[in-house]
């Protein structure tokens, strides 16, 4: 999916494993101080765009929140 000059990888139908690997990469970048931006996609809930450094994805907020809860429990 392309919006402007940013090409986004669409993870909405990706496997849980692929989503979690991508979310882990983004988490690592944020720990290094890279800014992350999450915005509702024009198609509406639950689709969101996530931008962090060179990572630009379209995903669903539900899987992102589920992954975050797992990370909090693991800490």
Mean pLDDT of successive 10-residue stretches along the chain, which has 75 residues:
71 96 96 96 94 97 95 89
Quick one: tokens of 72? Answer: 């909090």
Phi/psi of residue 68, nearest 5 degrees: -65, -40
- What is the count of structural domains for the chain? 1
Geometric angle at alpha carbon 44, from 67 and 4, rounded to 5°: 95
Give me the domain span that covers residue 61: 2-74
Task: Note the pLDDT tens digit of each residue in 17-36.
Answer: 999 999 999 999 999 999 99
State the pTM of this model. 0.87
Contact 59, 45 (CB under 8 A): no
């Amino acid at each position: 999916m392309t919006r402007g000059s940013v090409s986004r990888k669409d993870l909405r139908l990706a496997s849980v494993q692929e989503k979690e690997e991508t979310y882990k990469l983004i988490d690592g970048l944020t720990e290094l101080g890279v800014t992350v931006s999450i915005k509702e996609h024009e198609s509406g809930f639950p689709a969101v765009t996530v931008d962090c450094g060179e990572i630009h994805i379209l995903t669903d907020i539900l899987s992102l929140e589920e992954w975050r809860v797992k990370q909090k429990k693991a800490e």
